[in-house]
A and B are shown apart, each in its own frame.
Chain A
């Protein structure tokens, strides 16, 4: 099986572990993920000003490029996923915008490309994943952090119920670990506020990590590089404000999958995690 793949810029820089674990896990599952030729940035955060049509061009061109390869494209980064899906939605809703924007393209695009998140792929290919699991993750308690971009706005993203999603928990159950429910799994980590109001991001991150820990999570899995950064890197700052705070490892969902598939620490890219998950993995005999 082949699948066109749009990693996005961050997966080549600060979120390399997400890329390496994507490549490794899909390879192990017998799916060849093929990067789009000559891709570039999606523009990140989706514009919310109606008249800012310029910002739709970048995602539009990626979608058009992807459509040349296949009717679907795999996008693991939550930010890219959100931007591409919202762009698609606008183009479908508003033929006028589609027409205007198409004038900026070499080839026209119809809004029909299907943007697929790996979690959706796993949900639809349960047996394929299950049959390849070699490590026993039983008893490992994982909090599934969705963040904002996979869930909202519901109408445009159509990923899962925005108040009580379950797709992530299903994934964690599928690979044999134990999902831990925590109510703040759908709340914001602070996102790009980390640049200009780090104190707000630190506080938001603290709140939800504490909530996950309080509900029994030993680690957290997420899919968004920015969430991962905030949850992982800001823990050092949280300790400065809240002395009682205890570290909690943050995994990309593909990292934990790589472990379950028995692909080893290198494929999982664990060494780049700020809060080391190694002792936790040792506890569960997974190293």
Chain B
């Protein structure tokens, strides 16, 4: 049996006042196994510890129990003491009779009894304690510092200067943090730039520091001495190895966006460097993804890009960018159904950007000389010269294929020329786009009907691939009586004749049957030919598939529309005279989602008309194709949806022939896709379909945008539309530019590639992706800094509604020589020099009811500094500071405050209630509590001192690191007084304002403290761990692996050969989760085995 000694501490009166230590000692002396027991006033003191050492030696003790405070406070102390006495440190245990006994009881009898129970249970534990040896592990001698503000910089420099390799990770593109934003610093008024930039440069040039900016901690594992850290290197879309920071890209970029470094007081380009002295001095592109307009476009046309270029007046570049994705700029600028506009985010503010009309504008201004190219690659045949066929030819020709387009008609353009009337799409507009396509070496052979003039076989023999894009021309019939009568026309053939210039005479009254774009076109043509035209449509206006703006135009021109009417019979002898119709009502939605029309019985009626034009859809005419080409039941061609290849190898198809009648831009998209697939197949490479992330502003941010109405397209006067002159007249330059200004730059970078053009070192890399890098480090310093409390939550102070109410950080920028006003103090609203500035302290701080309870500590001093700097800039200025208390505890701080009041700052003791604008003045409602007066101050400008809060995302970051933060989100130190720079996780240290509000000198001191703690670990070869880890009794372990799942430290894994779990002792933290979870009792924690716990529980519960 072990010889056990028990040492009971009075802890002054902390324990002794509720525990009768003398009686307790006597009782414990009698307990089995105890050979020695004594008590002392302060057992942790030198004489107290010596009592333990002496007793171990004299009484030949095998184990020691110290009944005193919590083991977190003094376990280590007494284990050291036991070692001095010659015992193994792990047979010394603490019985906590202070926190768990004397501090929570008043009654001495109860306290004494409870203390006895506690001590006895620990005696039971110590009986089974084994002598253990600490686990020794090699240390990775490398540190990682998170956060590149002044705290992180200082810590990194200190560690690196001790000769230890250090990685500095910063999430923004440059180090410098908030300090580099400041103008001057209190109380010495050093210029922040002057004292900060040399340190930043030192970091960049230090051979022991690896600087990873624009990077974030992704994941962390391991423990002190051996952490594994995964770092996400966010893509700056610029190759920083090549970028030399010359800034040419900045000048070329057409997109301006919010400037965070200047606290929203200025703008910056989509490609930016946060400030000219940035370290590293590299450019970064803000890119949220692809804008909604571009994603909505079937052909992926970069609308945000060309709109940005229009704004910059770069029309040629805009046109080129448009044509990158779609050769039909001129056509689509006029007649595209523009799904881009439906998804335009500006539509959520008031109205979408007139994207199509802007496209038309660049096509209109841009008749540039075309350079004739001669491709030299493989031969490809395209059948059909509509938008699908020509697009395919265009994209292939750009890839150096020799493409021949075969067109059955005598004119190229397909439905563009045959189906769409000139007043919507003038022929020269089509020709411009076709000429452009031809300039890439595309050959168009008209009057060649494949299947008649030549066979498809012939084409296949002479070409590597064939693309069929013959459209949908066969008109659907009404299938009602009288459809063969004279006077019944069909829409496409009618339009074709008109478009070819053939003479057509219509009767006085014409009815058009259908509700699509072709029907509306036919009606407007018939109107121009002099007839009285009525459209008959079987559903309601809401269901009409035609573009609503075309329907409006038709009505404006005098076309009538009868809704919910369907023809049942055409009446006449030889020539039609009347049409019989039936009224319809709407039933349940059909497959297309539109409500199905149902005839109303007995509602038939007749309309006398001279002609009807049937415009109810078309289908492809593909009789000429062999049966090997599979067809759908709607008579369209079957293709592989991914590759557009038909059932016949090497023959592809797209556009209306596959989809049935659809839009131009869908045909362009099909042609483009076919070109990409054909190219990939010929080169034998896989076809890549890229998925793009949508980039757009948050709905919340849209609320701030001022409403500006969309530019209206000027149109030909309705009374002058008897001919086929174009109705839409196009934008003037000024209108186009103004309209382009409305664009919200949703994705920020628009990929207009202007930066690429001007970048000499070829550093721009729009496709660069994020990288994950892994680093082994021995210790970390966390210095993630602070943000200012969101001033918009201080609604009563007018921030966000009164322009000249700014935050303290904004005021720093307005004072800074490198700021948006170059150091001249001007207020944001009108650029006037403010004469009277009201400063409001504790904006959000010390307000537990509405905002934050704590004091932000630095605001008193920086506000004093602001007042002084204001006086220095504006000599007759009147700074007025509203405060609750002025707290100037710091070296030289009270002296500084005295200087500020001496130089003429009025301090008013009282918290401001409201700031508002009234008839041009800014009114501050405050109180002077010292005189007991309410005061109303007119100010030119108001500066708020918002509370300091932990940096955004801190809580998630803390979870990743498995360290702790308090309820406010500030990092928690291991001990508020004695271990202020250590986290509760060994090897992770804290520095700077991330741990709590503090000023620069304090931050620097703390950073150096954290660095020295890290150095202390990293200068050892090995690090020792507590051996009280959990093991595995292999005989009992069934390999069920429940413990593997519950282990929070990844210390356990299944040995698949032996089918038992094994433990990485260096990772085990001895939390005990595994032993609790283990169903067989195989997982046992050393010196805390089940047997011990059972005995302890029994002893604690024992009656006296």
Contact = CB atoms under 8 A, between A and B. Distances in A.
| A and B touching (Cβ–Cβ under 8 A) | yes
Interface of A: 161, 163-164, 181, 183-184, 210-211, 214-215
Contact of B919 (A161, A164, A181, A214): A214
B795 A210 contact: no
B796 A210 contact: no
Contacts of A161: 795
Contacts of A184: 916, 918
A185 B64 CA distance: 74
15 contacts: A161-B795, A163-B795, A181-B801, A183-B798, A183-B916, A183-B917, A184-B916, A184-B918, A210-B918, A210-B919, A211-B916, A211-B918, A211-B919, A214-B919, A214-B920
Contacts of B918: 183-184, 210-211, 214
Contacts of A214: 918-920
Give me the 4 closest cross-chain CB pairs, A-B, nearest first.
A183-B916, A214-B919, A163-B795, A164-B795
Contacts of A181: 801
Interface residues of B, number: 10
B796 A163 contact: yes
Secondary structure call for the B interface: mixed
Contacts of B801: 181, 183
Interface in B887-930: 914, 916-920
A181 B800 CA distance: 14
Nearest to A211: B918
Contacts of A211: 916, 918-919
A215 B798 CA distance: 15
A56 B700 CA distance: 42
Nearest to B916: A183
For B801, B916, B918, B919, which residue has the most chain A Cβ atoms within 10 angstroms?
Answer: B918
Contacts of B919: 210-211, 214
A75 B914 CA distance: 31
A91 to B, nearest CB: 24
Contacts of A163: 795-796
Contacts of B795: 161, 163-164
A214 B918 CA distance: 7
A210 B917 CA distance: 12
A7 B796 CA distance: 33
A211 to B, nearest CB: 5
A184 B916 CA distance: 8
A210 B923 CA distance: 13
Contacts of B916: 183-184, 211
Given A164-B795, A210-B918, A214-B919, 9 more contacts: A163-B795, A181-B801, A183-B801, A183-B914, A183-B916, A183-B918, A211-B919, A214-B920, A215-B917
A161 to B, nearest CB: 8
A210 B919 CA distance: 8
Interface of B: 795-796, 798, 801, 914, 916-920
B215 to A, nearest CB: 39
A204 to B, nearest CB: 13
Contacts, number: 22
For A163, A183, A214, A215, which residue has the most chain B Cβ atoms within 10 angstroms?
Answer: A183
A214 to B, nearest CB: 4
B911 to A, nearest CB: 15
A55 B796 CA distance: 33
Contacts of B920: 214
A164 B918 CA distance: 16
A214 B919 CA distance: 5
Contacts of B796: 163
B102 to A, nearest CB: 39
B844 to A, nearest CB: 14
A165 B71 CA distance: 55
Nearest to A184: B916
Nearest to B794: A163
A173 B344 CA distance: 24
A184 B801 CA distance: 13
Nearest to B920: A214
A161 B792 CA distance: 14
A178 to B, nearest CB: 12
A234 B699 CA distance: 43
A185 to B, nearest CB: 10
Contacts of A215: 917
A106 to B, nearest CB: 40
A161 B796 CA distance: 11
A209 to B, nearest CB: 12
A214 B920 CA distance: 8
A18 B208 CA distance: 78
A215 B918 CA distance: 8
For A163, A181, A215, which residue has the most chain B Cβ atoms within 10 angstroms?
Answer: A163
B1024 to A, nearest CB: 55
Nearest to A208: B918
A183 B917 CA distance: 7
A138 to B, nearest CB: 14
Nearest to B797: A163
Contacts of A210: 918-919
Contacts of B914: 183
B709 to A, nearest CB: 14
Nearest to A207: B918
A123 to B, nearest CB: 18
A181 B916 CA distance: 11
B916 to A, nearest CB: 3
A153 to B, nearest CB: 12
Nearest to B921: A214
B1101 to A, nearest CB: 40
A196 to B, nearest CB: 20
A211 B925 CA distance: 14
A184 B795 CA distance: 13
A214 B922 CA distance: 13
B188 to A, nearest CB: 39
A224 B9 CA distance: 71
Nearest to B850: A163
Contacts of A183: 798, 801, 914, 916-918
Contacts of A164: 795
A181 B918 CA distance: 11
B850 to A, nearest CB: 10
B623 to A, nearest CB: 53
A215 B916 CA distance: 12
Nearest to A163: B795
A163 B795 CA distance: 6
A184 B919 CA distance: 12
A41 to B, nearest CB: 34
A183 B797 CA distance: 11
B927 to A, nearest CB: 16
A149 B796 CA distance: 18
Nearest to B796: A163
B183 to A, nearest CB: 31
Nearest to B793: A163
B798 to A, nearest CB: 7
A187 B917 CA distance: 14
A203 to B, nearest CB: 12
A222 B919 CA distance: 22
A66 B795 CA distance: 37
B643 to A, nearest CB: 48
A164 B914 CA distance: 12
Nearest to B919: A214
A10 to B, nearest CB: 30
A211 B798 CA distance: 15
A208 to B, nearest CB: 10
A205 to B, nearest CB: 15
A183 B919 CA distance: 11
B849 to A, nearest CB: 11
A285 to B, nearest CB: 23
For B795, B798, B920, which residue has the most chain A Cβ atoms within 10 angstroms?
Answer: B795
A164 B916 CA distance: 12
Nearest to A181: B801
A214 B917 CA distance: 9
A184 B798 CA distance: 12
A57 B798 CA distance: 41
Nearest to B800: A164
